[in-house]
């Protein structure tokens, strides 16, 4: 089983790349945001707990996210591998995920960083807001705040995985196909 993290700032193309990788390689895409929304929509006990947490404006705990990941891994026992999108976002979360995957006998193989300038991300997010009506992308100030949060909280995991030799960076400033082709070359040694 091949476990991969897709990392990059908001608007870097993580979701788009994940869709292409699912189609080409048969991975299962695990977006924490999608998983949380699904639990809420299904009205599960976990979904009710998550909804209560989010309604207070609090962040969902790492324990809950790992529980969701565990449930999704268990639901796909024959998967070729998993693409983690939206988790980990912090160094403590990276350590928790690593410990969890190691304990399950399928350690993380690679973190793929989608490298892109903030100005391109900002433009993409504002365009996406008008197309998809995403409330988190509607104004430039909020977008810049999201990008600053990414740089402060998520960038430390890059060094963490570099030190483990589980890191590759690709240019995601061009077309999705261009980014996917770079990623495909990086995956050849581990697939």
Q: Which CATH superfamily is domain 2-184 in?
A: P-loop containing nucleotide triphosphate hydrolases (3.40.50.300)
Quick: pLDDT tens for 81-92. 999 998 998 899
Contacts 24+ apart (CB under 8 A), 54-62: 60/36, 62/92, 62/93, 62/96
Distance CA(10)–CA(122), nearest Å, equals: 8
Average pLDDT of the chain? 91
Structural tokens at position 85: 């999108």
Angle separating helix axes 118-132 and 140-153, nearest 10 degrees? 130
C-beta of residue 171 within 8 angstroms of C-beta of residue 182: yes
Quick: pLDDT tens for 13-28. 999 999 999 999 999 9
Alpha helices (runs of H) in the chain, residue ranges in sequence order: 14-25, 32-42, 45-55, 62-75, 91-103, 118-132, 140-153, 156-163, 176-187
Structural tokens at position 153: 């909280």
Q: What is the pLDDT tens value at each position of the chain, 191 positions in all?
A: 999 999 999 999 999 999 999 999 999 999 988 888 888 899 999 899 988 887 776 778 888 888 888 888 888 988 999 999 989 988 999 999 999 999 989 999 999 999 999 999 999 999 988 887 766 677 888 889 889 989 998 889 999 999 999 999 999 999 999 999 999 999 999 99
How many residues can be counted in the chain?
A: 191
Nearest alpha carbon to residue 24 among 4, 47, 7: 4
Provide the residue ranges of all domains of the chain, joining segments of one domain with +: 2-184
Q: What is the DSSP letter of 173?
A: S
């Amino acid at each position: 089983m091949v476990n991969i993290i897709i990392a990059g700032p908001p608007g870097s193309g993580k979701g788009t790349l994940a869709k292409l990788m699912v189609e080409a390689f048969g991975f299962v895409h695990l977006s924490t945001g999608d998983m949380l929304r699904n639990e809420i929509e299904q009205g599960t006990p976990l979904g009710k707990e998550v909804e209560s947490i989010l309604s207070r404006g609090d962040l969902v705990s790492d324990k809950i996210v790992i529980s969701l990941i565990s449930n999704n891994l268990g639901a796909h026992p024959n998967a070729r591998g998993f693409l983690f999108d939206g988790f980990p976002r912090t160094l403590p979360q990276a350590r928790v995920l690593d410990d969890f995957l190691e304990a399950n006998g399928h350690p993380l193989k690679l973190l793929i960083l989608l490298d892109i300038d903030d100005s391109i991300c900002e433009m993409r997010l504002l365009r996406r807001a008008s197309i998809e009506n995403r409330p988190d992308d509607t104004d430039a100030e909020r977008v810049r705040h999201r990008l600053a949060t990414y740089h402060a909280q998520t960038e430390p995991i890059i060094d963490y995985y570099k030190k483990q030799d589980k890191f590759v960076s690709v240019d995601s400033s061009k077309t999705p196909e261009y980014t996917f082709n770079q990623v495909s070359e990086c995956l050849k040694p581990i697939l």
